[in-house]
């Protein structure tokens, strides 16, 4: 089968022919890929940022946002059958460790991460397990929802925390209305009562944010922190949801936060530099967010089937993987880029 592989760091991906995966264990599920999301993490992988952490042996197939159709299953699989439309939780988990027993499978002690430390979905087929496949509604197409498997799931996981710690009428500032941000905005409007204020440097992204439900859009033009303070009567927002995490966003985000407010970190790239006395005296909280759980993904797919969360996508043929990566790197992708085998 065709597969796009990392053959070396600081070099381009290569298309190659590799054996298609087959069922090897009783709980294995082989999926025919219908769509694979192109994520900025994929660019970071090629830069070598994940090399030490993942410990993966090169070459391997990249791609961690995947959806498609069940192709084959092991003899102990009962939750899906060949032909079912599915989206894949990004992790393969054991189900037996303490974290899995708590339903916190994203912290599984024995996890594998297709596209990061084992073969992923920039290919025609991928092998995962029964614990990682979520059936999707017949009204949904794999290529339209693939990026919800990671980008959407990460956004949902963070927004669910915002919803649990805010009250109707509270202000949540969303920094960044790009690939993750535009999903988070929709989820916020679907499951919380917050007033959603979006800040982004790109006027087009701000316009899209308002179009999909944000209560207010502000272009980051140097006056945006002051605008947030004015909007909140000088107090700041109860929650800041940062999908950027670099380029000075964290310093500005903290300045937008009110006393006893919560700062939800999703994007990464820079350090948060805050004097400890300021954290203590104002009782602000910094909350990290990784990808969500299997249950989070099920709930997100319910919202997708209800039409409350819609991905804005740009689709590319698998053979055009380099164009997709180049467009993402250059900021030419509106929403999420999807490779379609």
Instruction: Please tell me the pTM assigned to this model.
Output: 0.92
Give 3-state DSSP helix, strand, coil % of the chain, rounded to 5.
Answer: 30, 25, 40
Alpha-helix residue ranges (DSSP H) falling in 47-180: 51-54, 98-101, 142-145, 151-165
Q: Give the three-state DSSP class for 97.
A: coil
Q: What is the pLDDT of residue 192?
A: 97
Distance CA 213, CA 186 (A): 7
Residue 223 to residue 225: CA distance in whole angstroms: 6
- Which one is the CATH code of 153-288: 2.30.30.30, 1.10.10.10, 3.40.50.300, 3.40.50.720? 3.40.50.720
Contact residues for 125 (Cβ-Cβ < 8 A; gap 6+):
1, 20, 21, 30, 31, 32, 33, 71
Alpha-helical regions (H) of the chain: 40-46, 51-54, 98-101, 142-145, 151-165, 181-191, 203-211, 224-231, 249-255, 276-282, 294-305, 321-329
For position 196, what pLDDT does the model report?
98
CA-CA distance, 315 to 318, in Å (whole number)? 9
CATH 3.90.180.10 domain residues, the chain: 2-150+291-339
* Residues in Cβ contact with 98 at an 8 Å cutoff, skipping those fewer than 6 apart: 109
Cα(120)–Cα(311) distance, integer angstroms = 21
Helices (H), 27-170: 40-46, 51-54, 98-101, 142-145, 151-165
Residues of each domain in the chain carrying CATH 3.40.50.720: 153-288
Position of tokens 């054991």? 94
Give every CB contact of residue 184 below 8 A, 6+ residues apart in sequence. Answer: 155, 156, 158, 159, 174, 241, 243, 266
User: How is domain 2-150+291-339 classified at the architecture level of CATH?
Assistant: Alpha-Beta Complex (3.90)
Mean pLDDT (10-residue bins), the chain, 341 residues: 97 97 98 96 92 91 98 98 98 96 93 96 98 97 95 96 97 94 96 98 93 96 97 97 96 97 94 95 96 94 96 94 95 88 96
pLDDT at 331: 84
For residue 321, which of 120, 182, 176, 134 has the smallest C-alpha distance?
120
- DSSP single-letter state for residue 118: B
The reported pLDDT for the residue numbered 159 is: 98
CB 36 within 8 A of CB 66: yes
């Amino acid at each position: 089968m065709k597969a796009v592989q990392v053959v070396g760091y600081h070099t381009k991906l290569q298309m190659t022919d590799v054996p298609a995966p087959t069922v090897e264990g009783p709980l294995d599920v082989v999926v025919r890929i219908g769509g694979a999301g192109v994520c900025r993490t994929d660019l970071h992988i090629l830069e070598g940022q994940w090399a030490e952490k993942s410990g993966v042996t090169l070459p391997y197939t990249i791609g961690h946002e995947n959806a498609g159709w069940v192709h084959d299953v092991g003899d102990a699989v009962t939750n899906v059958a060949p032909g079912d439309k599915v989206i894949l939780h990004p992790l393969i988990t054991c189900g037996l460790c303490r974290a899995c027993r708590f339903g916190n499978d994203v912290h599984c002690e024995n996890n594998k991460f297709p596209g990061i430390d084992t073969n992923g979905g920039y290919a025609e087929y991928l092998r995962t397990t029964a614990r990682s496949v979520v059936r999707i509604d017949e009204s949904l197409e794999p290529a339209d929802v693939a990026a919800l498997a990671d980008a959407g799931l990460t956004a949902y996981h963070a927004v669910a925390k915002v919803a649990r710690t805010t009250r109707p009428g509270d202000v949540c500032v969303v920094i960044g209305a790009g690939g993750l941000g535009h999903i988070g905005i929709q989820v916020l409007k679907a499951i919380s009562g917050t007033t959603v204020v979006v800040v982004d440097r790109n006027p087009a992204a701000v316009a899209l944010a308002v179009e999909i439900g944000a209560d207010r859009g502000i272009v980051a033009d140097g006056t945006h922190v002051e605008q947030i303070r004015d909007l909140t009567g000088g107090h700041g927002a109860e929650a800041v949801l940062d999908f950027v995490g670099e380029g000075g966003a964290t310093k500005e985000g903290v300045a937008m936060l009110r006393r006893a407010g919560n700062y939800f970190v999703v994007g990464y790239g820079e350090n948060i530099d805050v004097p400890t006395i300021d954290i203590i005296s104002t009782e602000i909280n910094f909350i990290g967010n990784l990808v969500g759980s299997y249950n989070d993904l099920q709930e997100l797919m319910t919202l997708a089937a209800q039409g409350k969360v819609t991905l804005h996508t740009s689709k590319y043929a698998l053979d055009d993987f380099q164009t997709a990566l180049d467009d993402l790197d250059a900021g030419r992708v509106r929403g999420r880029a999807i490779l379609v085998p």
